[in-house]
Amino acid sequence: MKNILLIIPYGGVGGMERLAFSFYNFYKKEGHFIKAVKFIKMENDIINFGEDELFFSDRDFSEMSKTERLKFYISIPFQLRKVIKKHKITHSISFGAMPNVYSSLTYTKDYKIASIHALKSVELSNNSLLSKMTRFGYKYTYKNLDKVVCISNAIKEDLLEKCNFKFANKLKVIYNPHDVDEIQKRSLEEITEEEEALLASNSVLFIGRLSTQKSPWHLIKAFSLVLKTVPDAKLIFIGDGDAGVLKHLEDLIDELEIKKQIQFFGRKKNPYKYLVNAKMLALASHYEGTPNVIVEAMCLATPVVSSCCTYGIVELMSLKNQKVEDKMVEVEAGIITPNLYKNRLGIPETNDFIDEEYVLAEAVEKVLKSSVYKENLEEKREELLMKFNLEKVANEYLK
């Protein structure tokens, strides 16, 4: 039996948090002693670990003064060290940039597994404090980790070729696991009549945090073009978001005069019951790793349209190598469109349309108008999902 600690920044509905929760359930079922620590615990957390949950603060970073935030940042490795020693942790798994760095700074004897879930060269193009911490870790402190899991080959190559990552021998590619049976079971939960009516139309669903990484303005602009040929289409967002991004989206929707066709559902504890009822899932991120929500859509035979923000998208959605450049590519799970990233992170300065948004709109329209994409996914689903077996992946992390 192992004593395992899972380390996450928040308890939101993002892919990393859902992955941590899947690991928690599996390891607990296997009889391991397990604890999960959140840096920040919020009242409206979707992911909760019951009696096995620990946290360092119940105030979000945005509620802290600069001095308070700095003190909190400095305290985290010491607090982690106390948790690891108190519970005699033998294996710790950290999820994301900040937990990875802090895990590398505890100087404890547990077997330390870090995980990287996004294409970091794009994220590190800004000069935020988190980016500085991440770059420092890649050069110096990641040597203290035993294994650094990359959730796609694209992420591993990006770290080595573009991020000055110094510890190549630590890197291991392991795809994110998914409990297919649990996802399908939870998708059967009832939704309201109003929600059912919305999803029964030509519904385009987005699941995730409304952030600059996900660049949802591209999806909204593409959707405004789709409405010209599919006027009954609905775009539905599930997830919370950054205040600045939400304000930009509201202004953009007003400018495009499409408010009646777009719904914001907010955070949902069970996104699967919506995903299974939607006509399709759509993503337009500036950078990703291998988005969990794409695999979850495949589990439920919901076709996907996604921009190719990383080759990891192709690794998920296709059974063979594909190049996505200036044209869309049809694959087993749906359609992949050209990258939307234009060498600048953050809220755009203008709402001018770009060529790639027109291609994204064309792909969304294709999936809405044809059942072929769902039929193809249903036929290839089992083969696509083979590499995401939860038991295999959870055990591989601990080796």
DSSP category for residue 319: S
> Which residues have a Cβ under 8 Å from the Cβ of 170 and sit 6 or more positions away?
142, 143, 145, 146, 147, 148
Amino acid (one-letter) located at 136: F
Count of C-beta atoms within a 10 Å radius of residue 320: 7
Residue 321's pLDDT is 81
Q: What is the pLDDT of residues 313-368, one digit of tens each?
A: 998 999 988 888 788 999 999 999 999 998 888 999 999 999 999 999 999 999 99
Q: Give which of 356, 355, 322 is closest to 338, Cα–Cα.
A: 356
Residue 12 pLDDT > 80: no
Q: Is the dihedral of CA 387, 391, 392, 396 positive or negative?
A: positive
Q: What is the pLDDT of residues 192-222, one digit of tens each?
A: 999 999 998 899 999 999 999 999 999 999 9
- List the beta bridge partners of residue 205: 236, 281
Side-chain-facing half-sphere of 251: CA atoms under 13 Å? 11
> What is the percentage of the chain residues whose pLDDT exceeds 90?
78
The two three-digit tokens of residue 43, written as one number: 């009242």
* Residue 232 main-chain phi, psi, to 5 deg: -90, 5
Q: What is the mean pLDDT of the chain?
A: 94
Q: What is the mean pLDDT of residues 137-143?
A: 96
Instruction: Look up the pTM and report it.
Output: 0.72
Count of C-beta atoms within a 10 Å radius of residue 193: 8
Residue 335's pLDDT is 98
Residue 157 pLDDT > 80: yes
Count of C-beta atoms within a 10 Å radius of residue 85: 13
Rounded to whole angstroms, the Cα distance separating 219 from 317 reads: 19
For 3, 127, 130, the CA distances from 293, given in Å and listed in that order, are: 29, 28, 24
Residue 129's pLDDT is 83
Rounded to whole angstroms, the Cα distance separating 161 from 163 reads: 6
Beta pairing class for 334-337 and 329-331: antiparallel
Residue 13's pLDDT is 61
Residue 370's pLDDT is 97
Q: Give which of 337, 314, 317, 304 is closest to 383, Cα–Cα.
A: 317
**177 pLDDT band (50/70/90 cuts)?**
confident
Rounded to whole angstroms, the Cα distance separating 387 from 206 reads: 24
